[in-house]
Amino acid sequence: MKYIKLILIFLLTMTLSLLIMTGLDLYWFAHHNNKQPATVIIIKPGSSLKKITQTLAEHQLINSKFRFTILNRLLRSSVTLKAGEYEIAATANPLNIIATLQQGISLQYKVSFPEGFTLKQIKERLAAKKICTTDEFTKITTAAANLKKWQLPATSLEGYLFPSTYCYSRKTTACNEIIEAMLKTGEQKFRELKAASPKTNFNRHQILTLASIIQKEAGNVEEMPLIAAVFANRLRRNMRLAS
C-alpha cells in the first residue's frame, strides 16, 4: 500500500510538472516576438485554422504550428479568425497575430474617379486596379435584381456613380462595395442639392439626364452654366430642349 501511494505521488508530481512546463512553454511562445519584417498575408474566405496556421508558418511569423494550434484551442479563437489581407507588424507575437485576425481590419487601398468619368472609364479603372474584371462590373451594374434593389428607374448606372476617392480592401465583394458606396454618395449629394433648391420639381433621374445632355453639348466646363441656363428657361416655358 505504501509503494502504491508513493507511485501515485510520483505520477501526480510528474503530471503537475509536465503541465507547468507545458504552460510556461506555451506562455513563452505566445509572447515571443517574431523576427520577420512587417509582412502582408492573405487569409482566404473559408480558411480553416490548419490553413491559417500553415500560411503563418510559411511566412515564418510563427515557429511552431502545433503550439499556435493549441493556443487557439485554449483561447477558443479559431472560429473568430476572419478572412482578409493583413499586415503583420515586425514585432508581432502570436497573441498579437490572433488579435489582428479576430478584429478583421484588412489593409485599405484607395481608388479615385475624376469628375466626368463615364461608366466605361470607371469600369476600366476598377479592372486596372484588379478589383474586378470588366465583365464582372458589367454583370453587377446591369443585373435586374441590383437595379431593383438600388431602386433606380434606369437600365444603366451611367451618371449615378458619384466620382470621388473610395477606400476598399482586397476581397471578393470589393467591387460591389465600391459601387454601392458611389451610389450612396450620389444619393446623398442629390439630397443636398435638392434641399438647396426646394423649388426644383425634377427627380434625380431627370436631373442626371439633363446633366448628361449639358455635358455633351458643352465644349468645355465654362460653357456648362450657360447651356444649363438656356435649358432651364426652355423647360420653364414648356419648350423642347432642341438638343
Least confident of 1-5, 55-59, 135-139, 141-145: 1-5
- 29/48 same-domain check: yes
79: which 3 cell numbers?
472560429
Q: What's the CA gap between 78 and 71, in Å, rounded?
A: 9
What was the pLDDT predicted at 2? 67
**Which DSSP state fits 237?**
T
Q: What's the CA gap between 170 and 84, in Å, rounded?
A: 7
- Antiparallel, parallel or unpaired: β 39-43 and 165-168: unpaired
16 membership: H or E segment, kind and range:
helix 2-31
Residue pair 135/124 in contact by the 8 Å Cβ criterion: no
Residue 116 has pLDDT above 70, yes or no: yes
- 214/155 same-domain check: no
What was the pLDDT predicted at 157? 86
- In the listed set 54, 87, 103, which residue is the last one of a domain according to the structure? 103
pLDDT in tens, 117-162: 889 999 999 999 999 999 999 999 988 888 888 888 777 888 889 9
Q: Is 128 helix (H, G, I), strand (E, B) or coil?
A: helix
pLDDT in tens, 180-225: 999 999 989 888 877 877 677 777 777 777 777 777 777 777 777 7
Mind giving me the DSSP string for 166-195? EEE-SSTTHHHHHHHHHHHHHHHHHHHHHH
- 88/144 same-domain check: no
The mean predicted confidence, pLDDT, of the chain is: 85
- 7/98 same-domain check: yes
Q: Is 161 helix (H, G, I), strand (E, B) or coil?
A: coil
- In the listed set 43, 68, 103, which residue is the last one of a domain according to the structure? 103
Tell me, letter by letter, the H, E, C secondary structure of 77-108: CHHHCCCEEEEECCCCCHHHHHHHHHHCCCCC
Name the phi and psi angles at 41, rounded to 5. Answer: -125, 155
Residue 166 has pLDDT above 90, yes or no: yes
- 152/189 same-domain check: yes
Residue 240 has pLDDT above 70, yes or no: no
- 98/17 same-domain check: yes
What was the pLDDT predicted at 1? 67
- 239/189 same-domain check: no
- In the listed set 40, 69, 103, which residue is the last one of a domain according to the structure? 103
How far are the Cα atoms of 22, 39, 117, 175 from residue 178, in angstroms, in the given order? 48, 26, 15, 5
Q: Of 129 and 35, which is predicted with more confidence? A: 129
Domain span at residue 225 reads 201-243
Residue 232 has pLDDT above 90, yes or no: no
Residue 87 has pLDDT above 90, yes or no: yes
Helix, strand, coil percent values for the chain (each to nearest 5): 60, 5, 35
Amino acid sitting at position 189: K
- 90/135 same-domain check: no
- How many structural domains comprise the chain? 3
> Domain containing 21 — which CATH number?
3.30.1490.480
pLDDT grade for 49, boundaries at 50, 70 and 90: very high
Q: What's the CA gap between 102 and 220, in Å, rounded?
A: 51
- 22/68 same-domain check: yes
- 151/212 same-domain check: no
220: which 3 cell numbers?
468645355
CA 11, distance to chain mean position in Å, is 54
- 10/85 same-domain check: yes
Residue 101 has pLDDT above 70, yes or no: yes
- 63/118 same-domain check: no
Residue 59 has pLDDT above 90, yes or no: yes
Residue 113 has pLDDT above 80, yes or no: yes
Mind giving me the DSSP string for 153-168? SSSS-TTTS--SEEEE
